[in-house]
Structure 1
Amino acid sequence: MAAALTAMTVLVAACGAHEDSGEEPKQVTMDEQQAIDRAEEIIHQAVDGMSPKPTLERTGPETVGPCIARDDHGPDDRRQVTLFYKLTGVPGSEARNLVLQARDAWLKQGYRFNSSDKKDMSGPYPWVSMRTDHDDFWMEGITGVLDRAKGEGIATLKVRSPCFLPAGKSSTATAADPAALEAPQPETPQPGDPGTRRALDLSSRIYDVLRAGSAPTQPGEGLGIVRDGSGVSVHHTWSTRPMPEAGAVQALARARARLGDAGWAVRHVPMGVGVPAVIAIHPREGAVVQLALSATGAVRVAVTTPVGPASVDG
Protein backbone atom coordinates (compact mmCIF):
# COMPACT_ATOMS: atom_id res chain seq x y z
CA MET A 1 0.00 0.00 0.00
CA ALA A 2 1.88 2.72 -0.50
CA ALA A 3 5.24 3.88 0.12
CA ALA A 4 3.71 6.96 0.82
CA LEU A 5 0.19 5.28 2.07
CA THR A 6 1.03 4.58 1.47
CA ALA A 7 1.77 9.54 2.16
CA MET A 8 2.76 10.69 0.91
CA THR A 9 2.83 13.42 3.38
CA VAL A 10 -0.94 13.40 3.08
CA LEU A 11 -3.76 15.59 3.73
CA VAL A 12 -5.70 15.36 6.86
CA ALA A 13 -6.99 18.54 8.39
CA ALA A 14 -5.59 17.61 11.74
CA CYS A 15 -3.97 21.02 11.99
CA GLY A 16 -6.92 22.98 10.68
CA ALA A 17 -10.52 23.28 11.76
CA HIS A 18 -12.37 19.95 11.84
CA GLU A 19 -14.82 20.59 9.06
CA ASP A 20 -17.18 17.78 9.98
CA SER A 21 -17.57 18.79 13.63
CA GLY A 22 -16.91 22.53 13.56
CA GLU A 23 -14.34 22.11 16.32
CA GLU A 24 -11.01 23.87 16.57
CA PRO A 25 -8.00 21.57 16.97
CA LYS A 26 -6.77 20.94 20.48
CA GLN A 27 -3.42 22.40 21.47
CA VAL A 28 -1.28 19.37 22.26
CA THR A 29 2.29 19.56 23.53
CA MET A 30 4.63 16.79 22.42
CA ASP A 31 7.91 16.17 20.70
CA GLU A 32 8.70 13.96 17.72
CA GLN A 33 9.46 10.80 19.67
CA GLN A 34 6.38 11.18 21.86
CA ALA A 35 4.24 11.55 18.75
CA ILE A 36 5.76 8.43 17.17
CA ASP A 37 5.35 6.41 20.37
CA ARG A 38 1.72 7.45 20.74
CA ALA A 39 0.94 6.65 17.11
CA GLU A 40 2.52 3.21 17.52
CA GLU A 41 0.44 2.67 20.66
CA ILE A 42 -2.77 3.46 18.78
CA ILE A 43 -1.80 1.02 16.01
CA HIS A 44 -1.15 -1.76 18.52
CA GLN A 45 -4.39 -1.06 20.35
CA ALA A 46 -6.13 -1.94 17.09
CA VAL A 47 -3.97 -4.92 16.09
CA ASP A 48 -2.84 -6.80 19.19
CA GLY A 49 -6.20 -8.47 19.83
CA MET A 50 -7.01 -9.31 16.22
CA SER A 51 -7.93 -12.77 15.00
CA PRO A 52 -6.53 -14.01 12.72
CA LYS A 53 -3.32 -12.33 13.78
CA PRO A 54 -1.86 -10.19 10.96
CA THR A 55 1.73 -9.11 10.41
CA LEU A 56 2.36 -5.36 10.51
CA GLU A 57 4.18 -4.17 7.38
CA ARG A 58 5.23 -0.56 7.62
CA THR A 59 4.81 1.62 4.53
CA GLY A 60 5.23 5.29 3.80
CA PRO A 61 7.99 7.66 2.67
CA GLU A 62 8.72 9.29 6.01
CA THR A 63 7.36 9.19 9.53
CA VAL A 64 7.71 12.91 10.24
CA GLY A 65 6.65 15.50 7.68
CA PRO A 66 5.34 19.05 7.34
CA CYS A 67 2.18 20.01 9.19
CA ILE A 68 -0.85 19.88 6.91
CA ALA A 69 -2.75 22.92 8.14
CA ARG A 70 -5.10 25.62 6.94
CA ASP A 71 -4.75 27.19 3.53
CA ASP A 72 -3.75 30.68 4.68
CA HIS A 73 -0.31 30.78 3.03
CA GLY A 74 1.47 31.62 6.28
CA PRO A 75 4.86 30.20 7.27
CA ASP A 76 4.78 27.16 9.52
CA ASP A 77 7.59 25.21 11.13
CA ARG A 78 5.29 22.65 12.70
CA ARG A 79 5.69 18.94 11.99
CA GLN A 80 3.41 15.92 11.99
CA VAL A 81 3.87 12.18 12.47
CA THR A 82 2.08 9.75 10.15
CA LEU A 83 2.29 5.96 10.33
CA PHE A 84 0.92 3.54 7.73
CA TYR A 85 0.77 -0.22 8.12
CA LYS A 86 -0.45 -2.95 5.81
CA LEU A 87 -1.89 -5.94 7.66
CA THR A 88 -0.35 -8.90 5.87
CA GLY A 89 0.05 -12.64 6.44
CA VAL A 90 -3.70 -13.34 6.43
CA PRO A 91 -6.09 -14.38 3.63
CA GLY A 92 -7.43 -11.55 1.49
CA SER A 93 -10.94 -12.53 2.56
CA GLU A 94 -10.10 -11.39 6.11
CA ALA A 95 -9.34 -7.76 5.19
CA ARG A 96 -12.88 -6.57 5.91
CA ASN A 97 -12.93 -8.35 9.24
CA LEU A 98 -9.60 -6.79 10.29
CA VAL A 99 -10.73 -3.24 9.56
CA LEU A 100 -13.92 -3.77 11.57
CA GLN A 101 -11.90 -5.27 14.42
CA ALA A 102 -9.68 -2.16 14.42
CA ARG A 103 -12.79 0.01 14.61
CA ASP A 104 -14.16 -1.96 17.56
CA ALA A 105 -10.84 -1.93 19.41
CA TRP A 106 -10.56 1.85 19.03
CA LEU A 107 -14.13 2.30 20.22
CA LYS A 108 -13.29 0.31 23.36
CA GLN A 109 -10.48 2.77 24.01
CA GLY A 110 -13.05 5.58 24.05
CA TYR A 111 -12.02 7.03 20.70
CA ARG A 112 -14.75 8.44 18.51
CA PHE A 113 -15.76 8.55 14.90
CA ASN A 114 -14.47 11.45 12.86
CA SER A 115 -16.90 10.44 10.15
CA SER A 116 -19.28 7.54 9.95
CA ASP A 117 -20.93 6.11 6.86
CA LYS A 118 -23.03 2.97 7.22
CA LYS A 119 -22.43 2.09 3.58
CA ASP A 120 -18.66 2.38 4.05
CA MET A 121 -18.68 0.10 7.08
CA SER A 122 -21.31 -2.45 6.03
CA GLY A 123 -20.00 -3.19 2.55
CA PRO A 124 -17.33 -5.69 1.49
CA TYR A 125 -14.56 -3.05 1.64
CA PRO A 126 -15.22 -0.98 4.77
CA TRP A 127 -13.42 2.23 5.70
CA VAL A 128 -13.49 3.96 9.05
CA SER A 129 -12.14 7.34 10.19
CA MET A 130 -11.70 8.02 13.92
CA ARG A 131 -9.88 10.31 16.32
CA THR A 132 -8.71 10.36 19.90
CA ASP A 133 -10.51 12.96 21.95
CA HIS A 134 -7.90 14.02 24.49
CA ASP A 135 -4.79 14.28 22.30
CA ASP A 136 -6.27 14.67 18.81
CA PHE A 137 -4.66 11.81 16.88
CA TRP A 138 -6.57 10.82 13.75
CA MET A 139 -6.68 7.28 12.42
CA GLU A 140 -8.17 5.34 9.56
CA GLY A 141 -8.83 1.73 8.74
CA ILE A 142 -8.94 1.17 4.98
CA THR A 143 -9.82 -1.94 2.98
CA GLY A 144 -8.09 -1.93 -0.41
CA VAL A 145 -9.44 -4.10 -3.22
CA LEU A 146 -7.29 -7.00 -4.41
CA ASP A 147 -9.87 -9.19 -6.18
CA ARG A 148 -13.39 -7.77 -6.26
CA ALA A 149 -14.90 -10.93 -7.74
CA LYS A 150 -13.61 -13.04 -4.84
CA GLY A 151 -14.18 -10.37 -2.21
CA GLU A 152 -10.48 -10.23 -1.38
CA GLY A 153 -8.76 -7.13 -0.10
CA ILE A 154 -5.93 -5.83 2.04
CA ALA A 155 -6.36 -3.93 5.31
CA THR A 156 -4.31 -0.84 6.05
CA LEU A 157 -4.20 1.29 9.21
CA LYS A 158 -3.09 4.91 9.31
CA VAL A 159 -2.46 7.14 12.33
CA ARG A 160 -1.66 10.86 12.09
CA SER A 161 -0.55 13.00 15.02
CA PRO A 162 -1.55 16.57 15.73
CA CYS A 163 0.94 19.19 14.63
CA PHE A 164 3.83 20.04 16.93
CA LEU A 165 6.78 22.38 16.90
CA PRO A 166 10.30 20.90 16.70
CA ALA A 167 12.67 21.72 19.52
CA GLY A 168 13.98 25.27 19.29
CA LYS A 169 11.22 26.58 17.02
CA SER A 170 9.06 29.55 17.94
CA SER A 171 5.47 28.95 18.98
CA THR A 172 4.39 32.01 16.97
CA ALA A 173 4.41 30.17 13.65
CA THR A 174 1.22 30.46 11.66
CA ALA A 175 -0.64 27.84 9.69
CA ALA A 176 0.59 26.41 6.39
CA ASP A 177 -1.06 25.70 3.08
CA PRO A 178 -2.82 22.33 3.52
CA ALA A 179 -2.66 21.48 -0.14
CA ALA A 180 1.00 22.24 -0.66
CA LEU A 181 1.86 18.56 -0.27
CA GLU A 182 5.49 19.44 0.11
CA ALA A 183 8.19 16.82 0.29
CA PRO A 184 11.24 17.26 2.52
CA GLN A 185 14.23 18.92 0.90
CA PRO A 186 14.66 16.28 -1.77
CA GLU A 187 17.60 14.63 -3.38
CA THR A 188 17.13 14.32 -7.11
CA PRO A 189 15.94 10.90 -8.34
CA GLN A 190 17.62 9.19 -11.26
CA PRO A 191 15.71 9.79 -14.51
CA GLY A 192 15.86 6.13 -15.54
CA ASP A 193 14.71 4.71 -12.21
CA PRO A 194 11.46 2.71 -12.49
CA GLY A 195 10.00 4.61 -9.53
CA THR A 196 10.67 7.92 -11.26
CA ARG A 197 9.06 6.69 -14.47
CA ARG A 198 6.01 5.44 -12.55
CA ALA A 199 5.63 8.73 -10.67
CA LEU A 200 5.77 10.74 -13.88
CA ASP A 201 3.44 8.32 -15.64
CA LEU A 202 0.87 8.56 -12.85
CA SER A 203 1.17 12.35 -12.85
CA SER A 204 0.57 12.34 -16.59
CA ARG A 205 -2.58 10.26 -16.19
CA ILE A 206 -3.87 12.57 -13.46
CA TYR A 207 -3.08 15.56 -15.69
CA ASP A 208 -5.19 14.05 -18.48
CA VAL A 209 -8.13 13.43 -16.13
CA LEU A 210 -8.09 16.86 -14.48
CA ARG A 211 -8.12 18.69 -17.87
CA ALA A 212 -6.92 21.92 -16.32
CA GLY A 213 -3.39 22.41 -17.62
CA SER A 214 -0.33 22.67 -15.42
CA ALA A 215 0.93 25.81 -13.71
CA PRO A 216 4.60 26.84 -13.64
CA THR A 217 6.57 24.86 -11.07
CA GLN A 218 6.38 26.45 -7.63
CA PRO A 219 8.99 26.30 -4.83
CA GLY A 220 8.84 22.88 -3.18
CA GLU A 221 7.31 21.22 -6.23
CA GLY A 222 8.91 18.74 -8.62
CA LEU A 223 10.62 15.38 -8.19
CA GLY A 224 12.36 14.25 -5.02
CA ILE A 225 13.54 11.16 -3.18
CA VAL A 226 12.16 10.28 0.26
CA ARG A 227 13.87 7.71 2.47
CA ASP A 228 12.74 6.02 5.66
CA GLY A 229 13.04 2.67 7.39
CA SER A 230 10.56 1.06 5.00
CA GLY A 231 12.46 1.94 1.84
CA VAL A 232 12.96 4.63 -0.79
CA SER A 233 10.21 6.42 -2.68
CA VAL A 234 9.93 8.98 -5.45
CA HIS A 235 7.69 11.96 -4.63
CA HIS A 236 6.33 14.18 -7.42
CA THR A 237 4.31 17.33 -6.73
CA TRP A 238 2.82 19.85 -9.14
CA SER A 239 -0.19 22.17 -9.52
CA THR A 240 -2.84 22.86 -12.12
CA ARG A 241 -3.71 26.33 -13.30
CA PRO A 242 -6.27 28.06 -11.05
CA MET A 243 -9.89 27.36 -11.95
CA PRO A 244 -13.36 28.20 -10.59
CA GLU A 245 -14.39 26.08 -7.63
CA ALA A 246 -17.15 24.34 -9.60
CA GLY A 247 -14.63 23.28 -12.23
CA ALA A 248 -12.19 22.07 -9.58
CA VAL A 249 -14.90 20.01 -7.89
CA GLN A 250 -15.73 18.38 -11.24
CA ALA A 251 -12.05 17.73 -11.93
CA LEU A 252 -11.56 16.07 -8.54
CA ALA A 253 -14.70 13.98 -9.10
CA ARG A 254 -13.36 12.76 -12.44
CA ALA A 255 -10.04 11.82 -10.88
CA ARG A 256 -11.71 9.99 -8.01
CA ALA A 257 -13.95 8.03 -10.39
CA ARG A 258 -11.04 7.13 -12.68
CA LEU A 259 -8.87 5.89 -9.82
CA GLY A 260 -11.74 3.97 -8.24
CA ASP A 261 -12.55 2.24 -11.53
CA ALA A 262 -8.88 1.19 -11.74
CA GLY A 263 -9.03 -0.54 -8.34
CA TRP A 264 -7.49 2.13 -6.12
CA ALA A 265 -8.84 2.70 -2.60
CA VAL A 266 -10.12 6.27 -2.84
CA ARG A 267 -11.36 8.55 -0.06
CA HIS A 268 -12.40 12.15 0.41
CA VAL A 269 -10.69 14.00 3.25
CA PRO A 270 -12.22 17.20 4.76
CA MET A 271 -10.07 20.29 4.27
CA GLY A 272 -10.21 23.88 5.48
CA VAL A 273 -10.99 25.27 2.01
CA GLY A 274 -14.38 23.52 1.96
CA VAL A 275 -13.69 21.16 -0.95
CA PRO A 276 -12.62 17.69 0.23
CA ALA A 277 -9.21 16.47 -0.80
CA VAL A 278 -8.78 13.08 -2.45
CA ILE A 279 -6.33 10.39 -1.40
CA ALA A 280 -6.00 7.22 -3.46
CA ILE A 281 -3.96 4.21 -2.43
CA HIS A 282 -2.96 1.36 -4.72
CA PRO A 283 -3.47 -1.88 -2.76
CA ARG A 284 -0.65 -3.86 -4.40
CA GLU A 285 1.98 -1.67 -5.93
CA GLY A 286 2.75 0.81 -3.16
CA ALA A 287 1.68 4.07 -4.79
CA VAL A 288 -0.33 7.00 -3.48
CA VAL A 289 -2.03 9.89 -5.28
CA GLN A 290 -3.23 12.98 -3.41
CA LEU A 291 -5.27 15.83 -4.82
CA ALA A 292 -6.33 18.98 -2.95
CA LEU A 293 -7.76 22.35 -3.88
CA SER A 294 -5.72 25.42 -2.94
CA ALA A 295 -7.25 28.75 -1.95
CA THR A 296 -5.94 30.07 -5.28
CA GLY A 297 -8.22 27.67 -7.19
CA ALA A 298 -5.35 25.43 -8.30
CA VAL A 299 -5.48 21.69 -7.67
CA ARG A 300 -2.31 20.50 -5.97
CA VAL A 301 -1.20 17.01 -7.01
CA ALA A 302 1.21 14.72 -5.19
CA VAL A 303 2.25 11.27 -6.36
CA THR A 304 4.47 8.88 -4.40
CA THR A 305 5.82 5.60 -5.80
CA PRO A 306 8.37 3.15 -4.41
CA VAL A 307 11.74 2.79 -6.09
CA GLY A 308 11.84 -0.61 -7.73
CA PRO A 309 10.63 -2.70 -10.66
CA ALA A 310 6.88 -2.91 -9.85
CA SER A 311 4.28 -1.37 -12.12
CA VAL A 312 0.96 0.30 -11.34
CA ASP A 313 -2.05 -0.19 -13.57
CA GLY A 314 -4.92 2.23 -13.90
Structure 2
Amino acid sequence: MNEQQAVDRAEEIIRQAVDTMSPRPTLERTGPESVGPCIARDDSRSDDRLQVTLFYKLTGVPGSEAAKLVLQARDAWLKQGYKYNSSDEADMSGPFPWVSMRTEPDDFWMEGITGVLDRAKGEGLATLKVRSPCFRPPAEDKASGTAAGTVSGTASAAPAAFETPSAGDPATRRALGHSSRIYDVLQAGSAPTQPGEGLSTVRDESGASVHHAWSTVPLPEDERAAAVGRAQGYFRSAGWRVRPMPTPAGAPAFVAGHPEERTVAQVAASATGAVRVAVTTPAARPAPAEA
Protein backbone atom coordinates (compact mmCIF):
# COMPACT_ATOMS: atom_id res chain seq x y z
CA MET A 1 0.00 0.00 0.00
CA ASN A 2 1.14 3.55 -0.72
CA GLU A 3 -0.03 6.90 0.63
CA GLN A 4 -2.68 7.56 -2.03
CA GLN A 5 -4.18 4.09 -1.63
CA ALA A 6 -4.31 4.62 2.14
CA VAL A 7 -6.10 7.97 1.75
CA ASP A 8 -8.58 6.54 -0.77
CA ARG A 9 -9.43 3.57 1.45
CA ALA A 10 -9.78 5.76 4.55
CA GLU A 11 -12.16 8.07 2.64
CA GLU A 12 -14.17 5.05 1.53
CA ILE A 13 -14.58 3.95 5.16
CA ILE A 14 -15.75 7.46 6.13
CA ARG A 15 -18.17 7.46 3.17
CA GLN A 16 -19.61 4.11 4.24
CA ALA A 17 -20.43 5.62 7.63
CA VAL A 18 -22.01 8.91 6.54
CA ASP A 19 -23.78 8.30 3.24
CA THR A 20 -26.93 6.85 4.83
CA MET A 21 -27.01 9.08 7.92
CA SER A 22 -30.17 10.91 8.91
CA PRO A 23 -30.09 13.82 9.50
CA ARG A 24 -27.40 14.24 6.84
CA PRO A 25 -24.34 16.00 8.33
CA THR A 26 -21.71 18.15 6.65
CA LEU A 27 -18.17 16.77 6.80
CA GLU A 28 -15.65 19.24 8.16
CA ARG A 29 -12.08 18.02 7.95
CA THR A 30 -9.86 18.85 10.91
CA GLY A 31 -6.48 19.77 9.47
CA PRO A 32 -5.02 18.15 6.35
CA GLU A 33 -4.91 14.43 5.87
CA SER A 34 -2.23 13.60 8.36
CA VAL A 35 0.67 11.49 7.14
CA GLY A 36 2.89 10.75 10.08
CA PRO A 37 5.16 8.14 11.62
CA CYS A 38 3.76 4.73 12.31
CA ILE A 39 3.35 3.99 16.02
CA ALA A 40 3.55 0.22 15.94
CA ARG A 41 5.98 -0.92 18.60
CA ASP A 42 5.03 -2.26 22.00
CA ASP A 43 7.02 0.53 23.65
CA SER A 44 5.11 3.16 21.56
CA ARG A 45 8.23 4.28 19.69
CA SER A 46 7.80 5.06 15.99
CA ASP A 47 9.54 3.14 13.24
CA ASP A 48 10.47 4.25 9.71
CA ARG A 49 7.05 3.56 8.19
CA LEU A 50 4.13 5.99 7.78
CA GLN A 51 0.40 6.10 8.50
CA VAL A 52 -2.51 8.17 7.20
CA THR A 53 -5.10 9.51 9.64
CA LEU A 54 -8.34 11.25 8.58
CA PHE A 55 -10.37 13.17 11.16
CA TYR A 56 -13.78 14.74 10.42
CA LYS A 57 -16.33 16.69 12.43
CA LEU A 58 -19.98 16.03 11.51
CA THR A 59 -21.50 19.51 11.48
CA GLY A 60 -24.70 21.15 10.27
CA VAL A 61 -26.99 19.12 12.55
CA PRO A 62 -28.39 19.90 16.03
CA GLY A 63 -26.13 18.95 18.91
CA SER A 64 -28.87 16.65 20.18
CA GLU A 65 -28.37 14.47 17.07
CA ALA A 66 -24.65 13.82 17.62
CA ALA A 67 -25.14 10.59 19.58
CA LYS A 68 -27.49 9.25 16.88
CA LEU A 69 -24.86 9.91 14.18
CA VAL A 70 -22.16 7.98 16.05
CA LEU A 71 -24.51 5.02 16.50
CA GLN A 72 -25.43 5.15 12.82
CA ALA A 73 -21.72 5.10 11.91
CA ARG A 74 -21.25 2.02 14.11
CA ASP A 75 -24.22 0.25 12.49
CA ALA A 76 -23.04 1.10 8.97
CA TRP A 77 -19.57 -0.28 9.69
CA LEU A 78 -21.02 -3.43 11.26
CA LYS A 79 -23.02 -4.01 8.05
CA GLN A 80 -19.73 -3.88 6.14
CA GLY A 81 -18.49 -6.76 8.31
CA TYR A 82 -16.06 -4.63 10.31
CA LYS A 83 -15.22 -5.65 13.89
CA TYR A 84 -15.17 -4.01 17.29
CA ASN A 85 -11.81 -3.13 18.80
CA SER A 86 -13.56 -2.32 22.03
CA SER A 87 -17.14 -1.82 23.09
CA ASP A 88 -18.73 -0.54 26.26
CA GLU A 89 -22.48 -1.18 26.18
CA ALA A 90 -23.11 1.27 29.01
CA ASP A 91 -21.24 3.97 27.15
CA MET A 92 -22.96 3.18 23.83
CA SER A 93 -26.39 3.54 25.43
CA GLY A 94 -25.51 6.83 27.12
CA PRO A 95 -25.86 10.40 25.79
CA PHE A 96 -22.27 10.56 24.49
CA PRO A 97 -21.43 7.20 22.84
CA TRP A 98 -17.97 6.25 21.60
CA VAL A 99 -16.96 3.26 19.50
CA SER A 100 -13.65 1.84 18.26
CA MET A 101 -13.65 -0.56 15.29
CA ARG A 102 -11.38 -2.06 12.63
CA THR A 103 -11.70 -3.35 9.09
CA GLU A 104 -10.82 -6.87 8.01
CA PRO A 105 -8.63 -8.02 6.41
CA ASP A 106 -6.84 -4.71 5.62
CA ASP A 107 -6.77 -3.54 9.26
CA PHE A 108 -7.80 0.12 9.15
CA TRP A 109 -8.83 1.40 12.59
CA MET A 110 -11.68 3.87 13.09
CA GLU A 111 -13.47 5.64 15.89
CA GLY A 112 -16.83 7.32 16.27
CA ILE A 113 -16.73 9.86 19.08
CA THR A 114 -19.35 12.12 20.65
CA GLY A 115 -17.66 15.22 22.07
CA VAL A 116 -19.54 17.00 24.86
CA LEU A 117 -20.92 20.47 24.03
CA ASP A 118 -23.59 20.77 26.74
CA ARG A 119 -23.74 17.87 29.20
CA ALA A 120 -26.94 19.07 30.88
CA LYS A 121 -28.81 19.22 27.57
CA GLY A 122 -27.16 16.09 26.15
CA GLU A 123 -25.73 18.02 23.21
CA GLY A 124 -22.52 16.89 21.56
CA LEU A 125 -20.43 16.99 18.38
CA ALA A 126 -19.92 13.77 16.44
CA THR A 127 -16.51 13.09 14.94
CA LEU A 128 -15.12 10.20 12.89
CA LYS A 129 -11.47 9.17 12.68
CA VAL A 130 -9.82 6.56 10.45
CA ARG A 131 -6.19 5.44 10.72
CA SER A 132 -4.47 3.31 8.09
CA PRO A 133 -2.07 0.42 8.62
CA CYS A 134 1.63 1.22 8.31
CA PHE A 135 3.21 1.54 4.88
CA ARG A 136 6.71 2.22 3.62
CA PRO A 137 7.59 5.75 2.39
CA PRO A 138 8.26 5.97 -1.37
CA ALA A 139 11.98 6.74 -0.91
CA GLU A 140 12.43 3.56 1.11
CA ASP A 141 10.57 1.50 -1.50
CA LYS A 142 12.83 2.87 -4.20
CA ALA A 143 16.02 2.30 -2.21
CA SER A 144 15.05 -1.23 -1.24
CA GLY A 145 14.63 -2.26 -4.91
CA THR A 146 13.74 -5.88 -5.47
CA ALA A 147 14.30 -6.72 -1.84
CA ALA A 148 11.07 -4.86 -0.99
CA GLY A 149 9.20 -7.24 -3.28
CA THR A 150 10.59 -10.46 -1.87
CA VAL A 151 8.77 -12.37 0.82
CA SER A 152 10.28 -15.55 2.28
CA GLY A 153 12.57 -15.84 -0.72
CA THR A 154 9.73 -15.66 -3.26
CA ALA A 155 9.96 -12.83 -5.79
CA SER A 156 6.94 -10.57 -6.27
CA ALA A 157 6.35 -7.20 -7.88
CA ALA A 158 8.25 -4.36 -6.20
CA PRO A 159 6.17 -1.38 -4.99
CA ALA A 160 5.93 1.58 -7.32
CA ALA A 161 8.65 4.24 -7.01
CA PHE A 162 7.69 7.91 -7.23
CA GLU A 163 9.84 10.64 -8.81
CA THR A 164 9.30 14.29 -9.77
CA PRO A 165 8.86 14.55 -13.55
CA SER A 166 10.43 17.21 -15.75
CA ALA A 167 8.16 20.16 -16.55
CA GLY A 168 9.12 19.98 -20.22
CA ASP A 169 8.51 16.26 -20.57
CA PRO A 170 5.83 15.47 -23.21
CA ALA A 171 4.02 13.07 -20.87
CA THR A 172 3.95 15.74 -18.16
CA ARG A 173 2.43 18.25 -20.57
CA ARG A 174 -0.07 15.62 -21.72
CA ALA A 175 -1.17 14.78 -18.16
CA LEU A 176 -1.48 18.44 -17.18
CA GLY A 177 -3.36 19.21 -20.39
CA HIS A 178 -5.97 16.55 -19.65
CA SER A 179 -6.24 17.77 -16.05
CA SER A 180 -6.79 21.31 -17.32
CA ARG A 181 -9.66 20.23 -19.56
CA ILE A 182 -11.22 18.26 -16.70
CA TYR A 183 -10.92 21.36 -14.51
CA ASP A 184 -12.80 23.40 -17.14
CA VAL A 185 -15.73 20.97 -17.39
CA LEU A 186 -16.05 20.41 -13.62
CA GLN A 187 -16.63 24.16 -13.19
CA ALA A 188 -15.33 24.09 -9.62
CA GLY A 189 -12.24 25.60 -8.04
CA SER A 190 -9.28 23.43 -7.12
CA ALA A 191 -8.40 22.84 -3.47
CA PRO A 192 -4.91 23.18 -1.97
CA THR A 193 -2.76 20.14 -2.73
CA GLN A 194 -3.27 17.38 -0.19
CA PRO A 195 -0.86 14.58 0.78
CA GLY A 196 -0.69 12.06 -2.05
CA GLU A 197 -1.72 14.62 -4.67
CA GLY A 198 0.34 16.55 -7.20
CA LEU A 199 2.54 15.49 -10.10
CA SER A 200 4.81 12.45 -10.04
CA THR A 201 6.45 9.85 -12.23
CA VAL A 202 5.48 6.34 -11.16
CA ARG A 203 7.77 3.42 -12.00
CA ASP A 204 6.62 -0.14 -11.44
CA GLU A 205 6.84 -3.50 -13.18
CA SER A 206 4.77 -2.21 -16.12
CA GLY A 207 7.08 0.73 -16.86
CA ALA A 208 6.97 4.47 -16.16
CA SER A 209 3.94 6.76 -16.16
CA VAL A 210 3.28 10.38 -15.26
CA HIS A 211 0.52 10.72 -12.66
CA HIS A 212 -1.34 13.92 -11.75
CA ALA A 213 -3.84 13.91 -8.88
CA TRP A 214 -5.84 16.82 -7.47
CA SER A 215 -9.19 17.69 -5.86
CA THR A 216 -11.80 20.39 -6.17
CA VAL A 217 -13.01 22.48 -3.27
CA PRO A 218 -15.87 20.83 -1.32
CA LEU A 219 -19.22 21.05 -3.13
CA PRO A 220 -22.84 20.41 -2.12
CA GLU A 221 -23.97 16.91 -3.03
CA ASP A 222 -26.08 17.95 -6.03
CA GLU A 223 -23.30 20.14 -7.47
CA ARG A 224 -20.78 17.36 -6.93
CA ALA A 225 -22.91 14.86 -8.86
CA ALA A 226 -23.54 17.39 -11.64
CA ALA A 227 -19.80 18.09 -11.95
CA VAL A 228 -18.97 14.39 -12.28
CA GLY A 229 -21.75 14.07 -14.87
CA ARG A 230 -20.33 16.94 -16.94
CA ALA A 231 -16.90 15.33 -16.89
CA GLN A 232 -18.32 11.98 -17.96
CA GLY A 233 -20.16 13.66 -20.84
CA TYR A 234 -17.00 15.44 -21.93
CA PHE A 235 -14.97 12.22 -22.13
CA ARG A 236 -17.69 10.42 -24.09
CA SER A 237 -17.97 13.27 -26.60
CA ALA A 238 -14.16 13.29 -26.98
CA GLY A 239 -14.11 9.61 -27.94
CA TRP A 240 -12.71 8.15 -24.70
CA ARG A 241 -13.91 4.78 -23.43
CA VAL A 242 -15.89 5.53 -20.27
CA ARG A 243 -16.83 3.03 -17.59
CA PRO A 244 -18.68 3.84 -14.32
CA MET A 245 -16.78 2.78 -11.21
CA PRO A 246 -18.91 1.01 -8.59
CA THR A 247 -18.55 2.49 -5.12
CA PRO A 248 -19.88 1.00 -1.87
CA ALA A 249 -22.12 4.00 -1.19
CA GLY A 250 -23.11 4.64 -4.81
CA ALA A 251 -21.16 7.91 -5.07
CA PRO A 252 -20.74 9.03 -8.71
CA ALA A 253 -17.40 7.91 -10.13
CA PHE A 254 -15.98 6.75 -13.44
CA VAL A 255 -12.79 5.83 -15.24
CA ALA A 256 -12.03 6.92 -18.82
CA GLY A 257 -9.39 5.53 -21.19
CA HIS A 258 -7.93 7.22 -24.26
CA PRO A 259 -7.91 4.64 -27.10
CA GLU A 260 -4.56 5.79 -28.57
CA GLU A 261 -2.55 7.42 -25.78
CA ARG A 262 -3.28 4.70 -23.19
CA THR A 263 -4.01 7.61 -20.83
CA VAL A 264 -6.42 6.81 -17.98
CA ALA A 265 -8.45 9.40 -16.08
CA GLN A 266 -10.44 8.78 -12.91
CA VAL A 267 -13.05 11.20 -11.56
CA ALA A 268 -14.89 10.43 -8.33
CA ALA A 269 -16.99 12.19 -5.71
CA SER A 270 -15.29 12.11 -2.32
CA ALA A 271 -16.62 11.85 1.22
CA THR A 272 -14.95 15.20 1.89
CA GLY A 273 -17.39 16.91 -0.49
CA ALA A 274 -14.71 17.33 -3.14
CA VAL A 275 -14.35 15.73 -6.55
CA ARG A 276 -11.08 13.82 -6.81
CA VAL A 277 -9.27 13.63 -10.16
CA ALA A 278 -6.35 11.45 -11.24
CA VAL A 279 -4.75 11.32 -14.69
CA THR A 280 -2.11 8.71 -15.57
CA THR A 281 -0.33 8.61 -18.92
CA PRO A 282 2.63 6.54 -20.17
CA ALA A 283 5.95 8.35 -19.91
CA ALA A 284 6.70 7.43 -23.52
CA ARG A 285 3.85 7.98 -26.00
CA PRO A 286 2.81 4.50 -27.19
CA ALA A 287 1.97 3.63 -30.75
CA PRO A 288 -1.73 4.03 -31.67
CA ALA A 289 -3.88 1.02 -30.89
CA GLU A 290 -4.65 -1.25 -33.80
CA ALA A 291 -8.21 -1.27 -35.01
Q: Normalised by the size of structure 2, how large is the TM-score? A: 0.47
Structure ranking higher in helix proportion: 2
Q: Normalised by the size of structure 1, how large is the TM-score? A: 0.44
More relative contact order, 1 or 2 (CA 8 Å, 6+ apart) = 1
The structure with the larger Rg is 2
